[in-house]
């Protein structure tokens, strides 16, 4: 059981993966709600007809094998699918089981990661080489932008030839803009998902420890998930699920941790709107301003933004409801320069 088992649990699809390398031919796409206890807390103070969480889109792409960059195992098609995503969740098997085959014949998470990284770097080298040829020709006309692009691409190519992923290179904002249209694979942030045994939920197996060391060296992190347990949990009623979690000695499904870690990996945060009809979590990039947040609700709101009325969950806990917050003078009026803080509860005021 591997990435498709975990994907199915994430999306509650319930389908079982087959035990062979290319069990996922076409990518499956799931819209996954982001678990957020703050929605229920807000509901305690602002009763609403429905709660709507933020979501992330997860794509289950077939596993790559050696030679994928040269087309092995339908590699070119799979690499094209990876180009379209914003970040990579790399599911790595970290347990031994003679009954579950491994495409490489043995369990070695470091080798498995290196195979994928190598194939992605080789694909990036092909992309950069083509783009570099084009940029060099354009630079002959003394086009300043193309001259700068050549320098960036040469720096990236040198790093790839040394076996370094693009995300590990010292690239500035201008460099990133220069190669944005290349859709490089190893520039994407990575989160490692260690698929563990049901008796190793904390990830104490040496396989997991080695993966953590590798992730740390790449400035990434590891989330441990037992695919078989998570597949069981999603099939249960809430009471049964709580009972099983208590028996396992854990507070929540590992998938909740994984989804939130994915959200963070993408540089995302949530703000809330709350009223009688609904309490909703809206997704924005970290650092977004109030007008940009308004634009997520409706594009016209960003253009016609006047102000945001803002309060926090702590305000709700202290003053009980919105009327109490207003009476205490804690409802803040924020303008166009306000940078939204994760967890802000907002009313957007806009022109007609």
Q: Which of 182, 203, 231 is the last residue of a domain?
A: 182
Q: How confident is the model at residue 106 (pLDDT cuts 50, 70, 90)?
A: confident
Q: Which of 156, 182, 208 is the last residue of a domain?
A: 182
Q: Are residues 199 and 90 in the same domain?
A: yes
Q: Distance between CA atoms of 188 and 181, rounded to whole angstroms?
A: 13
Specify if 145 maps to a domain: yes
Q: Are residues 72 and 214 in the same domain?
A: yes
pLDDT (tens digit, 9 = 90+) per residue, 178-199? 999 999 999 999 999 999 999 9
Average pLDDT for 46-70:
79
Q: How confident is the model at residue 74 (pLDDT cuts 50, 70, 90)?
A: very low
Q: Distance between CA atoms of 271 and 344, rounded to whole angstroms?
A: 5
Q: Are residues 62 and 26 in the same domain?
A: yes
Region of 37 on the Ramachandran plot (φ > 0 left; ψ -120 to 50 alpha; else beta): alpha
CA-nearest of 56, 81, 168 to 117 is: 168
pLDDT at 76: 57
CB 192 within 8 A of CB 221: yes
Specify if 164 maps to a domain: yes
CATH number of the domain to which 321 belongs: 3.10.20.30
Region of 183 on the Ramachandran plot (φ > 0 left; ψ -120 to 50 alpha; else beta): left
| % of the chain surpassing 70 pLDDT | 88
Specify if 332 maps to a domain: yes
Q: Are residues 228 and 146 in the same domain?
A: no
pLDDT at 17: 37
Specify if 219 maps to a domain: yes
Q: Are residues 200 and 235 in the same domain?
A: yes
Q: Are residues 177 and 310 in the same domain?
A: no
Q: Are residues 240 and 318 in the same domain?
A: no
Q: Which of 164, 182, 200 is the last residue of a domain?
A: 182
Q: Are residues 136 and 15 in the same domain?
A: no
Burial of 241 (0-12, 13-18, 19+ CB in 10 A): middle
Look up tokens 């998938």; give the residue: 255
Could you give the number of structural domains in the chain?
Answer: 3
Specify if 48 maps to a domain: no
Q: Are residues 101 and 211 in the same domain?
A: yes
Q: At residue 348, does pLDDT exceed 90?
A: yes
State the residue range of the domain holding 134: 125-182
pLDDT (tens digit, 9 = 90+) per residue, 248-273? 999 999 989 999 999 999 999 999 99
Specify if 44 maps to a domain: no
CA 198, 203, 209: angle at the middle one, nearest 5?
145
Q: Are residues 219 and 75 in the same domain?
A: yes
Q: Are residues 151 and 299 in the same domain?
A: no
Specify if 84 maps to a domain: yes
Specify if 163 maps to a domain: yes
Q: Are residues 68 and 129 in the same domain?
A: no
């Amino acid at each position: 059981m591997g990435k498709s088992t975990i994907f199915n649990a994430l999306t509650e699809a319930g389908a079982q993966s087959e035990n062979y390398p290319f069990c996922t031919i076409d990518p499956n796409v799931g819209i996954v709600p982001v678990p957020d206890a703050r929605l229920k807390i807000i509901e305690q103070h602002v009763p609403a007809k429905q709660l709507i969480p933020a979501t992330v889109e997860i794509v289950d792409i077939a596993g790559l094998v050696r030679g994928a960059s040269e087309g092995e195992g339908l590699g070119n098609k799979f690499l094209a699918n990876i180009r379209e995503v914003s970040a990579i969740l790399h599911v790595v098997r970290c347990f031994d089981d003679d009954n579950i085959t491994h495409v490489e014949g043995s369990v070695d998470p470091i080798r498995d990661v290196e195979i994928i990284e190598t194939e992605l770097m080789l694909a990036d080298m092909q992309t950069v080489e083509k783009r570099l040829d084009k940029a060099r020709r354009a630079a002959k006309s003394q086009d300043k932008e193309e001259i700068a692009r050549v320098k960036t691409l040469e720096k990236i190519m040198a790093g790839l030839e040394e076996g370094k992923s693009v995300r590990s290179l010292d690239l500035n904002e201008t460099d990133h803009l220069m190669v944005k249209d290349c859709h490089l694979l190893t520039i994407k942030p990575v989160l490692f998902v260690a698929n563990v045994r049901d008796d190793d939920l904390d990830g104490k197996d040496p396989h997991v420890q080695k993966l953590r060391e590798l992730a740390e060296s790449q400035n990434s992190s590891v989330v441990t998930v037992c695919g078989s347990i998570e597949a069981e949990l999603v099939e249960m009623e809430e009471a049964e699920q709580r009972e099983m979690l208590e028996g396992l000695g854990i507070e929540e499904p590992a998938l909740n941790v994984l989804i939130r870690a994915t959200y963070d990996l993408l540089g995302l945060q949530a703000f809330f709107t709350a009223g009688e009809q609904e309490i909703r979590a809206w997704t924005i990039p970290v650092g977004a301003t109030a007008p940009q947040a308004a634009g997520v609700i409706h594009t016209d709101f960003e253009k016609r933004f006047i102000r945001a009325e803002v309060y926090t969950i702590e305000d709700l806990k202290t003053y009980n409801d919105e009327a109490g917050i207003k009476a205490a003078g804690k409802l803040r009026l924020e303008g166009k320069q306000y940078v939204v803080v994760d967890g802000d509860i907002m009313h957007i005021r806009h022109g007609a």
